[in-house]
Amino acid sequence: MPGPATVGAVDHRSEVREFLTSRRARISPQQIGLRTYGERRRVPGLRREEVARLAGLSIDYYTRLERGNLKGVSETVLEAISQALRLDRGEHDHLFDLARTANPSGARPTRAAVETPVRPELQFMLDAITAAPAFIANNRMDLVAANALAAAMYSVMFHGPGRPVNFSRHIFLDPAAPRFYPDWERAAWTNVAILRREAGRHPRDKRLADLVGELSVRSEAFRELWATHDVRRHYAGMKSFRHPEVGLLELNFQSLELDGDPGLTMTVYTATPGTPTAESLRLLASWAATEEPARLTNSH
């Protein structure tokens, strides 16, 4: 069983190697129009020389890159590899983040999650949003601020004493999570894919690495998903929840990175007007008004 030292965002060369290898393995020769004529292949997916040819690189140079050495690699080469491996937007960004980490002198600095309390002005902004759940999380998936409706929606997360509450720990360690997420498998995959992308953006974030290590030790499901090296951009879409008080909620979400507060992202959930979820949100607001607001703090 891998421990924190092997699964955390610590070994940059291993991260590069395993990411590129896993992306190469998922592409079949048939997908690129290569006929194998019954040939027995020793590796799943494409061979290194096939990726190198698609990217217009020498096999020696691509082999060096896939072994984890991205020092000095140009954006043109990264784009060529991205196209050859058919990376989506999140995977493309992850590859570039890994390259920036390998070339710190010329890289645009990444910004780690803030350690200070959330500015009062941000809480004022959340509190001004009264008809929709709205919250702020950091890159370690800690929920660090919320309006009343978001605190009510995620009330199941506040049963334990730990603060700040953490989405990853809730999903993988809380027995109540599969009831809260109707599609728990999807929620779990998305959560890990977001963490993997953040690990590429902030490889020296010790608390992020510690979280990955903790979850890897305590959750087999997390270990298996972390090993896939999937990454995801997570800015808009739809999510479903099964709230213990108001039932099924099918909500649209928009997430925005807060440029003035490095490492923080604000997410707002909205219901489509006229749907059962819109009525359920109104019921949730009424229920929340009768409950003691959940206490959010940045201390553990």
CATH at 68 = 1.10.260.40
Residue 112 lies in a domain: no
Distances (CA, A) of 11 to 7, 74, 117: 9, 22, 30
Query: What is the C-alpha R_g of the chain?
Result: 21
Q: For 192-242, how does the pLDDT look when each residue is reduced to its tens digit (9 = 90+)?
A: 999 999 888 888 888 999 999 999 999 999 999 999 999 988 889 999 999
Buried b (16+ CB within 10 A) or exposed e, 161-194: eebbbbbbbbbbebeebeebbeeeeebbbbbbbb
Which residues, other chains included, contact 255 with Cβ-Cβ below 8 Å and sequence gap of 6+?
A: 234, 235, 236, 265, 266, 267
The predicted pLDDT at position 169 comes to 95
Longest dimension (CA), the chain: 69
Q: How far apart are CA 196 and CA 234, in angstroms?
A: 12
- Asked if 124 and 271 sit in the same domain, the reply is yes
The band of 37, judged by pLDDT with boundaries at 50, 70 and 90, is low
Q: What value does the mean pLDDT of the chain take?
A: 86
Asked if the model's pLDDT at residue 91 lies above 50, the reply is yes
In this structure, are residues 196 and 226 in contact, taking their beta carbons and an 8 Å threshold? yes
Which residues, other chains included, contact 189 with Cβ-Cβ below 8 Å and sequence gap of 6+?
A: 225, 230
The predicted pLDDT at position 8 comes to 43
- Asked if 100 and 128 sit in the same domain, the reply is no
- Asked if 85 and 124 sit in the same domain, the reply is no
Among 45, 77, 106, the domain-final residue is 106
Asked if the model's pLDDT at residue 257 lies above 80, the reply is yes
Give the number of domains in the chain: 2
Which residues, other chains included, contact 269 with Cβ-Cβ below 8 Å and sequence gap of 6+?
A: 132, 133, 134, 150, 153, 239, 251, 252, 253
Q: For 167-192, how does the pLDDT look when each residue is reduced to its tens digit (9 = 90+)?
A: 999 999 999 999 999 999 999 999 99
Q: How far apart are CA 159 and CA 291, in angstroms?
A: 14
- Asked if 78 and 164 sit in the same domain, the reply is no
Asked if the model's pLDDT at residue 22 lies above 50, the reply is yes
The predicted pLDDT at position 161 comes to 65
Among 53, 84, 106, the domain-final residue is 106
Which residues constitute the domain of residue 86? 4-106
pTM assigned to the model: 0.82
In this structure, are residues 221 and 188 in contact, taking their beta carbons and an 8 Å threshold? yes
Residue 183 lies in a domain: yes
Residue 298 lies in a domain: no
- Asked if 44 and 132 sit in the same domain, the reply is no
Residue 296 lies in a domain: no
In this structure, are residues 133 and 153 in contact, taking their beta carbons and an 8 Å threshold? yes
- Asked if 147 and 280 sit in the same domain, the reply is yes
Q: Sign of torsion, CA 81 66 30 91?
A: negative
Q: How far apart are CA 254 and CA 56, in angstroms?
A: 38
In this structure, are residues 154 and 135 in contact, taking their beta carbons and an 8 Å threshold? yes
CATH at 191 = 3.30.450.180
Asked if the model's pLDDT at residue 31 lies above 90, the reply is no
Residue 297 lies in a domain: no
Of 199, 228, 211, the closest CA to residue 98 belongs to 199
Q: Is 263 helix (H, G, I), strand (E, B) or coil?
A: coil
Q: Sign of torsion, CA 188 300 132 152?
A: positive
Among 106, 135, 160, the domain-final residue is 106
